[in-house]
A and B are shown apart, each in its own frame.
Chain A
Amino acid sequence: MTEAAAGAAPRADRATEPLLEVRDLVKHFPITKGVILNRSVGAVQAVDGISFEVRPGETLGIVGESGCGKSTTARLVMRLMAPTSGSIRFDGREIAGARGADLKELRRQMQMIFQDPYSSLNPRKTIGTIIGEPYAIHGLHPEPGRRKRAVQEIMDIVGLNPEHFNRYPHEFSGGQRQRIGVARALALRPKLIIADEPVSALDVSIQAQILNLLRDLQTEFGITLVFIAHDLSVVRHMCDRIAVMYLGKIVELASSEELYAHPRHPYTGALLSAVPVADPRLAAQKKRQILAGDVPSPTNPPPACRFHTRCPKAVAGHCDTDEPLLDPKDGGNLAACHYPLTDAEVAERVPTARVAG
């Protein structure tokens, strides 16, 4: 195995202070009615009381389907929006209420990589300016020539040709544009990078280039990574620990190995069962577990366990009245479920579980 792979997987149980600690984070977007008498008639409960921590140097994955609140979580942690309630501690400091100069200083420490490399780069700026922008904002390397050298150094690190300094984003392919996004995030040497679906817009062969780049950079610069994606195989490849979200809640949190070898929450089981396996032999063995219906609206989520309306194991009178907490289950996974999956059920539904872990 190569160095990059070994280095990118520091053991999660290292006794260190978490770099990021999120407690009971809530974000409700009010739905208002009326123009003059603007009153609130409800709320989209995008994120509803989630807690997790990220240790220095590790990669935490957040997976879930559209509307589960994973991107909102990223934007809350980045403080691109203010939480409704809850606490976010970064590097020992409470940042949930940070503003102004504090916030600016904070953003030197954490950066974000966006999903769409086409719309997240200003088409009228050269990529030298785009990657150098963080320096300009924070007044770093003001001497003439020094900033350009710093930018070119970073371009070289992420695998862009430093001579392309004066080119515009449209002159680059999707994969190269995502490298520009990575370079921009890396410019300030942040402690934390949040990558929101960084490869889902890219072709398969290019995806692998960017994933390898992220892993190499993480090893080289000791960056902590929060990796958000909907592709479960990509997340497994990249992450030490994984949080599975459903309708604004974390339903399961476990190490990569534990999660893929023995998912405990029925929703995680359904997700893993749904992932198409790139092997016709395994695919033929699999008993695909199909979830009925759609994700309910986050405006009016089901009471108690939010998954009970679609859960094959739900028990009336328990799952719909009594909210399960995120507790340790058999095998070490934390799962919010009264009736977690057994090993036998896992073996039947998730053929890849046997080889995973």
Chain B
Amino acid sequence: MPLLEIKDLRVHFATEDGLVKAVDGVSYEVERGQTLGIVGESGSGKSVSSLTVMGLTRAPNAHISGQILFDGQDLLMASDDELRRIRGNDIAMIFQDPLSSLHPFYKVGKQIAEAVRTHNHDVSKAQAWDRAVEMLGLVGIPEPRKRADAYPHEFSGGMRQRAMIAMALSNNPKLLIADEPTTALDVTVQAQILELIDRLQSEFDAAVVIITHDLGVVAETADDIAVMYAGRIVEKARADTIFHGPEHPYTWGLLGSIPRLDTARDEELVPIPGRPPSLINLPTGCSFHPRCPYVRDAHRRVEPELAPAGDDPSHRVACLLDHRTRQSVWADLRSGRTPEEARRLEVDRRDAGLDPAVARAEDGA
């Protein structure tokens, strides 16, 4: 049984402007000892889905449906008290901005000790303090006994993020959710933190969900990657597949948008045209269709399901193009063709009737 299993999660917020469909039918699972990377841009719903796991989106205007099974228990059904016991104990979260997630008035050691004592009432203050010092040492803060006695403002950005991680791990959580854990940090510090999460994960055999917009970060840390767009997962696969055999046009777009250190320098970037849709007024059919170079008429009406991409059952994609078309377009893109050229080749192939399956799907739609 997976440690965390999310089934058809929907999180909608009623606002004055209309119903915001922040998360709209997301399903995924994470096993013990595994890292799932969730990639997406602002407004893709990647943070809201994980905040919901923590029960942090419960609000009068939030409509939440679906299932969040953690160790077999449905967290959406859990009472606030039950959630409070799980949160910070079995499931811990690291936030993006370490300065605003630490209380400025309390010493760092005290804040970690408090996290320990909240969940273990029989631990004395002194024991909790020792645990805080031990955790600070574990995450690589020099002179932990002395630093536990310092206030958050006396820490550098990287040290604060370490302190957050120390706090998150102080109760040996089974699941760690890291929401953009390194976005606010410099690259060398980012490398330290990623290495730390990696090491601690193997030590504690925790499951990790890492949420980020940085494809490099997931490439280095994640076993599986889910790509989110407009509140849904559009593609999910092993990390290697996402980078070497992706089948969703949005994933292609993301990969084409980033300058890379491992390709020729003058390689032209291919941005995704347009911008992410409003979550209040999602496009009909495939929500990526207004930005998709390979869109066909039917795609504006039919909503794609997240379905197996080909023979590999771990690779799922929500795209109305068929598997063979997607493979040949990706091959074209990979060989350096622009999306425009790839689109024309694809149309040519279709017109030439080389792809009867596609023609049939088109007629049927």
| A, B co-complexed | yes
Interface residues of A (CB under 8 A from B): 1-2, 4-6, 9, 65-66, 173, 175, 203-209, 211-212, 230, 232-234, 236-238, 256-257, 260, 270-283, 288, 290-291, 293-294, 351-352, 355-357
**Which of B182-199 touch A at CB < 8 Å?**
186-192, 194-195
The residues of B that contact A357 with a CB separation of less than 8 Å are: 265
Asked whether A276 lies within 8 Å of B217 as measured between CB atoms, the reply is yes
Are the C-beta atoms of A237 and B259 separated by less than 8 Å?
Answer: yes
Report the minimum CB–CB distance from A6 to chain B (whole Å).
7
Are the C-beta atoms of B268 and A2 separated by less than 8 Å? yes
A275 lies within 8 A of B263 (CB): no
Interface centre among A4, A272, A283, A294 (most CB of B within 10 A): A294
Contacts A208-B270, A278-B215; is A256 near B243 (CB within 8 Å)?
no
Contact of A173 among B243, B262, B275 (CB under 8 A): B275
Pick 28 A–B contacts, CB within 8 A, sort by A.
Answer: A9-B265, A65-B187, A205-B41, A205-B257, A206-B275, A207-B271, A208-B258, A208-B271, A212-B269, A212-B271, A232-B187, A233-B261, A236-B265, A237-B259, A256-B265, A260-B261, A271-B187, A274-B188, A275-B187, A276-B191, A276-B217, A278-B216, A278-B219, A281-B244, A288-B195, A291-B188, A291-B191, A294-B189
- A203 and B213 form a contact (CB under 8 A): yes
> Across the interface, do B261 and A232 meet the contact criterion of CB distance under 8 Å?
yes
Cross-chain contact B188 with A65 (CB below 8 angstroms) = yes
Which 4 A-B pairs rank lowest in CB-CB distance, beginning with the nearest? A276-B216, A237-B259, A208-B271, A274-B191
Tell which of B106-114, B153-161, B279-287, B326-334 binds the partner.
B153-161
Per the bound structure, the CA–CA distance linking A159 and B220 in Å amounts to: 35
- CA gap between A256 and B42 in the complex, in Å: 31
A351 to B220, CA, bound (A): 13
In the complex the two chains form, is B195's CB within 8 Å of A290's CB?
yes
Are A1 and B186 closer than 8 Å at their CB atoms? no
Minimal Cβ-Cβ distance residue in B for A203: B41
Question: Known contacts A173-B275, A204-B213, A271-B188: does B262 contact A355 (CB below 8 Å)?
Answer: yes
- Residues of B close to A288: CB separation below 8 A: 191, 195
Residues of chain A with a CB closer than 8 A to B253's CB: 205
Residues of B within 8 A of A (CB): 41-42, 142, 156-159, 186-192, 194-195, 213-217, 219-220, 239-240, 243-244, 253-263, 265-272, 275-276
A66 to B41, CA, bound (A): 24
Q: Given A276-B216, A355-B261, 8 other A-B contacts at CB below 8 A? A: A9-B266, A274-B187, A275-B216, A276-B194, A276-B214, A278-B243, A291-B191, A294-B158
CB distance from A120 to the nearest CB of B (A): 19
Q: Smallest CB–CB gap between B188 and chain A, Å?
A: 5
List the A side residues contacting B220 at CB < 8 Å: 276-277, 280, 283
Query: Is the CB–CB distance between B159 and A294 below 8 Å?
Result: yes
> How many A-B pairs with Cβ below 8 Å?
147
Q: Which residues of B contact A237 (CB under 8 A)?
A: 259, 265, 267, 269
Instruction: Tell me, rounded to whole Å, the shortest Cβ–Cβ distance linking A335 to chain B.
Output: 18
* Chain A residue at smallest Cβ distance from B183: A200
Interface of A is mostly: helix
Cross-chain contact of A283 among B190, B219, B269, B275 (Cβ < 8 A): B219
Q: Is the CB of B254 within 8 A of A204?
A: yes
Contact B272 A277 (CB under 8 A): no
Residue on A nearest B239 in the bound complex, by CB:
A280
Contact, CB under 8 Å: B271 / A205: yes
CA A214 – CA B192 in complex, angstroms?
33
Cα of A207 to Cα of B271 in the assembled complex, Å: 8
Nearest CB of chain A from residue B236's CB, rounded to whole Å: 15
Q: Which residues of B contact A270 (CB under 8 A)?
A: 188
Q: Which residues of A contact B268 (CB under 8 A)?
A: 1-2, 4-5, 212
| Contact in complex: A230, B269 (CB < 8 Å) | no
B residues in contact with A209, CB < 8 Å? 271
Name the contact of A211 in the complex, choosing from B187, B240, B269 (C-beta under 8 A): B269
> CA–CA, A290 to B265, complex, Å?
26
CB distance from A32 to the nearest CB of B (A): 20
- From A211, A257, A290, name the one whose CB has the most chain B CB atoms within 10 angstroms: A290
**How far is the CB of B265 from the nearest CB of chain A, in Å?**
6
Q: How far is the CA of A291 from the CA of B276 in the complex (A)?
A: 37
Cβ of B261 and Cβ of A352 under 8 Å apart? Answer: yes
Q: Are B261 and A356 in contact (CB under 8 A)?
A: yes
Closest CB of chain B to A246's CB: distance in Å? Answer: 10
Which residues of chain B are near A278, meaning CB under 8 Å? Answer: 215-216, 219, 243, 255, 258, 260
Known: A1-B268, A277-B261, A293-B142. A204 touches B187 (CB 8 A): no
Across-interface contacts of A277 in B (CB, < 8 A): 216, 219-220, 260-262
Within 8 Å CB of B240, what residues of A?
Answer: 280-281
For A211, the chain B residues whose CB sits under 8 A away are 259, 269
> Which of the residues B159, B190, B269, B276 comes within 8 Å of A274, measured between beta carbons?
B190
- Determine which of B41, B187, B257, B263 lies in contact with A355 in the assembled complex, contact meaning CB atoms within 8 Å: B263
By a CB distance below 8 angstroms, the chain A residues around B215 are 204, 278
* Residues in A whose Cβ lies below 8 Å from that of B270: 208
Contact between A203 and B42, CB atoms less than 8 A apart: yes
On whether A204 and B265 interact (CB within 8 A), knowing A230-B186, A277-B219, A278-B216, the answer reads: no
B262 touches A356 (CB 8 A): yes
Question: How many whole Å from B152's CB to the nearest CB in chain A?
Answer: 15
Q: Which of A206, A273, A279, A356 contacts B219 (CB 8 A)?
A: A279
- With a cutoff of 8 Å between Cβ atoms, the chain A residues found around residue B41 in the complex are 203-205
Task: Given A65-B187, A278-B219, check contact A175 B275 (CB 8 Å).
Answer: yes
**What A residues does B157 contact at CB under 8 A?**
66
Most buried by B among A278, A291, A355: A278
